[in-house]
Amino acid sequence: MPTIAEKLVDARRELLDLSARNRLIHTPRGATRTGQLEITEELSAEVFRRLVEESKSMTFRAMPDPDDETKEREPLTADDDSFSYSTLDEAQKDEHLQTKLTAEPLQTRLLKLFYDARTFEEEQGVNILYLVLGFLKWYEAANSEEVRYAPLLLIPVELSRTSVRSRFRLAWTGDDITTNLSLQEKLQGEFAAKLPPVPEVDELKVSEYFSAVRTAVSAHRRWEVVDNDITLGFFSFAKFLMFRDLHPETWPSEQPITKHPLTNALLTDGFHPEPSLFGTDDKIDQALKPHDLLHVVDADRPRRRQCARQSRGLAMP
């Protein structure tokens, strides 16, 4: 009969995905993928400064369309999606994120990201849209020729626009910028390398963090930190957070998870029935006033209106 500790190990193993299928372990590169948008010719430190340190939003800049003769004949303006700068340094310090897409494909890509992000948040209650600053370029083995790219700094962001004709703007949600926990576990378990934790936002310096990662993986000759590789896409930490929460080391020593009564009930002899608080002839409404109770109900809008009316003693229309 396996012990509770052994059952927890098995449960955590089922939650963990450290394969290349996990985007936190390997994010495929290539602008053709509709679930992500690659940003080019930008500096991670400058993007971090504007989005996080200054809490400002950014827009997206398309590439000029070589087949659009109108763009070649007419002068470009600062309001044009394909406006080009005279110097690269100027473009890296403005409010626009440069992309490899021309105007129409860029709008299509942003629209898909916008709707997918909103749908997931409405259905799951969490935001999984992140702007990645910097990647670790790594290999599964010393003789492997297949390159892997793992995100380093993941900034939780949101896309918004004021109307269907307006530009999309990207902004930091204000949520924590957390360590890539999947990569951290992968490196520690398989490569004897310890990915440094991401500091608190007020203490986070992008260049210093990338330097710390370089030091941590310096024993692997071909591995490389690509500082200014930036991508907007979807990343989910849900299963790994459960994996971490089930680790005995995350629990207080005075109440370890292996001795918690709920854990014992779930993994060993189950939950035993308890005597009822009321007898069969008791009038429950006299002991528990209905208006003092909170009920779990469906969260759809008609149901909320119905419950609100019932709580106020109003008749339904």
Does residue 30 lie within any of the structural domains? Answer: yes
Of the candidates 205, 203, 202, 149, which has an alpha carbon nearest to the alpha carbon of residue 180?
Answer: 149
Same domain, 32 and 11: no
Does residue 29 lie within any of the structural domains? Answer: yes
**Boundary residue ending a domain (212, 236, 260):** 236
**Boundary residue ending a domain (236, 266, 300):** 236
Both tokens of 185, joined, read 């576990």
Same domain, 116 and 178: yes
Does residue 247 lie within any of the structural domains? Answer: no
Same domain, 10 and 148: no
Work out how many domains the chain is built from and give that number.
Answer: 2
Q: In 105-166, which ranges are E strands?
A: 129-139, 147-160
Same domain, 277 and 216: no
Alpha helices (runs of H) in 24-100, residue ranges in sequence order: 44-48, 69-73, 88-91
Same domain, 257 and 134: no
Same domain, 85 and 126: yes
**Boundary residue ending a domain (205, 236, 267):** 236
The residues, ordered by sequence, that sit 6+ positions from 70 with a Cβ below 8 Å of its Cβ are none
Q: Which domain holds residue 2?
A: 1-16+252-317
Per-residue pLDDT of the chain (317 residues; tens, 9 = 90+): 788 888 888 888 788 788 999 999 999 987 566 789 999 999 999 999 999 999 999 999 999 877 765 444 333 333 444 444 445 566 667 789 999 999 999 999 999 999 999 999 998 888 999 999 999 999 999 899 999 999 999 999 999 999 988 999 999 999 999 899 899 989 999 999 999 999 999 999 999 999 999 999 999 999 999 999 999 999 988 787 788 788 888 888 888 988 888 888 888 878 888 888 788 888 888 878 877 877 766 555 455 555 555 544 444 43
Same domain, 299 and 188: no
Same domain, 100 and 226: yes
Does residue 245 lie within any of the structural domains? Answer: no
Query: Exposed, middle or buried, 47 (CB in 10 Å: 0-12/13-18/19+)?
Result: buried
2 phi/psi in degrees, rounded to 5: -65, 145
